[in-house]
Amino acid sequence: MTTAVTSPAGTGARTPDAGRELPPFPLRSSPWRLVISAAAVALVVLAGSFLVVNDLSARSGIRMSAQSVTSTDHRLAGVRTELAAAERRLAGARTWQAAVTRNFDTAQSTLSTTQAELAQAQAGIHSEGVDVGRLDTCLSGVEQALNQIAVGQTAGGLASMKASSSSCATLDGDG
């Protein structure tokens, strides 16, 4: 007797395992599967470790940068305070310089006026014909005569007075 197997799939349909043969691949054996799996796990762990170390390093760098920025901000605040104080001292020095310049200008003006007055006085003395040398000679002669008379040398005093009379007469404009 012959038995026929009928399939509800119809003609041309294949059974799920029909014609499929697994390629000769080492994964079928369990030692290779374990080695490849272990290698894959090792790669994943290595990559994860690298990422964790890289992340920790980056976080550490960020913390150090934040601390550096905070420190720099603190130093900058100190420098700004010193700069403000220096600007105040500079403003005071400029005010002092302006006052000194005004005082110098005033003194210069006064000196110029005094020099002009001195020049006029010298011109006036010269125009009046007063000779300081002759005046000195006249006064010296009179002084000598008075000293001689004071000590009892009347004749010598009169002689000194007569000798100085010519220099004294030129001062009067008679000579």
Burial class (CB in 10 A: 0-12, 13-18, 19+), 149: middle
* Separation CA 14–CA 5 (nearest Å): 13
Residue 5 has a pLDDT of 55
pTM over 0.75: no
The three-state secondary structure class of 5 is coil
Let me know: does 148 contact 161? Beta carbons within 8 Å: no
HSE-CB at 151 with a 13 A cutoff on CA atoms is 8
Does residue 170 have a pLDDT over 50? yes
Task: Specify the amino acid at residue 33.
Answer: R
Residue 127 has a pLDDT of 63
Q: Nearest-CA neighbor of 153 among 163, 164, 145, 141?
A: 145
- pLDDT tens column, 20-76: 565 555 555 577 788 888 899 999 999 999 999 999 999 999 999 999 999 999 999
The more confidently predicted of residues 89 and 33 is 89
The more confidently predicted of residues 151 and 24 is 151
Let me know: does 27 contact 36? Beta carbons within 8 Å: yes
The mean per-residue pLDDT over the stretch 130-149 comes to 83
Does residue 14 have a pLDDT over 60? no
Does residue 147 have a pLDDT over 50? yes
Q: Nearest-CA neighbor of 99 among 91, 85, 86, 111?
A: 91
Does residue 4 have a pLDDT over 80? no
- pLDDT tens column, 101-134: 999 999 899 989 999 988 888 877 666 666 677 7
Residue 157 has a pLDDT of 86
Lookup: tokens for 101: 């310049």
**Residue 19 φ/ψ, nearest 5 degrees:** 75, 5
Angle at 18 between CA 13 and CA 19, to 5 degrees: 110
**Residue 121 φ/ψ, nearest 5 degrees:** -65, -40
Place of tokens 């913390």: 63
Could you tell me the pLDDT band of residue 81, with boundaries at 50, 70 and 90?
Answer: very high
